[in-house]
């Protein structure tokens, strides 16, 4: 009997360590540092867990947290100028997702995005980026914490709307610039969309328009094949996503 107890005791803490390892989830914290309300939208890939019911309101200064399971992939973006009724039907001036508070699809371009693929195995890398490939509507950053590896911060702190070329501008009723289109959305040509004869990294190069986004936000994707300076990795981190991050 005594021998059995001595052999079993070391397994007791290991059993609980195993439980805690399985239970560990990535935590996303979404913070609104804008002076106005932002309505974040969320979209999960491959039928994964829907975070935040797909969309919600986030008042200035507020932060909300969501756990995401191992292997989760998806994106977050900010919707601006929204008006929803009690049933969750309405419209946003930018980033709208079909006129619903709780998104079931992606945000309508132009929209700033943060994209994630969370690792599904212990010690494997998460991949994440901030993307302006679909244009720009609000400043956005992602900062990892508690992880190991490269763990870069990424984002777009600059207000791209200030220097947006007229041909890419989206304006409101008062004539103010509320978003900046990508060249693909504005012109829909293979050169700007990296399609057709320009569908490979070798045949789709940066353009004057993508360089404008890159110069404003060096750590964000500026066009489809902007991988080398825009894809980030980290192991076992939590992530803070901030709308209107300060310099």
**pLDDT for residue 46:** 83
For residues 152 and 247, the model is more confident at 152
Average confidence (pLDDT) over 55-66:
98
Q: Give the domain ranges of the chain.
A: 25-162+208-243
Please determine, for residue 78, whether its predicted confidence score (pLDDT) is greater than 90: yes
Inform me whether the pLDDT recorded for 38 exceeds 70.
yes
Q: Residue holding tokens 């309300």?
A: 37
Residue 14 binned pLDDT confidence (cut-offs 50, 70, 90): very low
DSSP E strand boundaries for the chain: 26-32, 39-44, 63-68, 73-84, 90-94, 113-117, 126-131, 140-145, 154-156, 169-171, 177-180, 232-234, 238-243
Question: Is residue 174 pLDDT above 60, yes or no?
Answer: yes
Q: Say if residue 3's pLDDT is above 60.
A: no
According to the CATH classification, is domain 25-162+208-243 in 2.60.110.10? yes
Q: Check residue 17 and give its pLDDT.
A: 37
pLDDT at 247: 58
Section 127-146 average pLDDT: 97
Angle at the Cα of 183 from the Cα atoms of 94 and 163, rounded to 5 degrees: 70
Q: Which residue has the higher pLDDT, 8 or 47?
A: 47
Global pTM reads: 0.87
pLDDT class for 21, splitting at 50, 70, 90? Answer: very low
Average pLDDT score over the chain: 90
Instruction: Give percent above pLDDT 90 in the chain.
Output: 84
């Amino acid at each position: 009997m005594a021998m059995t107890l001595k052999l079993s005791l070391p397994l007791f803490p290991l059993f609980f360590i195993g439980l805690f390892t399985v239970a560990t989830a990535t935590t996303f914290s979404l913070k609104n540092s804008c002076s106005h309300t932002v309505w974040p939208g969320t979209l999960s890939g491959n039928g994964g867990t829907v975070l935040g019911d797909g969309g919600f309101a986030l008042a200035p200064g507020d932060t909300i947290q969501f756990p995401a399971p191992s292997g989760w992939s998806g994106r977050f973006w900010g919707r601006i100028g929204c008006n929803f009724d009690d049933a969750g039907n309405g419209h946003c001036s930018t980033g709208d997702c079909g006129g619903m508070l709780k998104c079931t699809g992606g945000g309508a371009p132009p929209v700033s995005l943060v994209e994630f693929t969370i690792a599904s195995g212990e010690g494997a890398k998460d991949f994440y980026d901030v993307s302006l490939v679909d244009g720009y509507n609000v400043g956005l950053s992602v900062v990892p914490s508690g992880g190991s590896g490269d763990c870069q911060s990424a984002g777009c702190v600059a207000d791209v709307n200030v220097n947006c070329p007229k041909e890419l501008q989206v304006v409101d009723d008062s004539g103010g610039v509320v978003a900046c289109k990508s060249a693909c959305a504005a012109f829909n040509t293979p050169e700007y969309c990296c399609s057709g004869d320009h569908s490979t990294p070798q045949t789709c190069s940066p353009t004057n328009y993508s360089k404008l986004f890159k110069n404003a936000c060096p750590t964000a994707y500026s066009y489809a094949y902007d991988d080398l300076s825009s894809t980030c990795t980290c192991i076992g981190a939590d992530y803070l996503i901030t709308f209107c991050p300060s310099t």
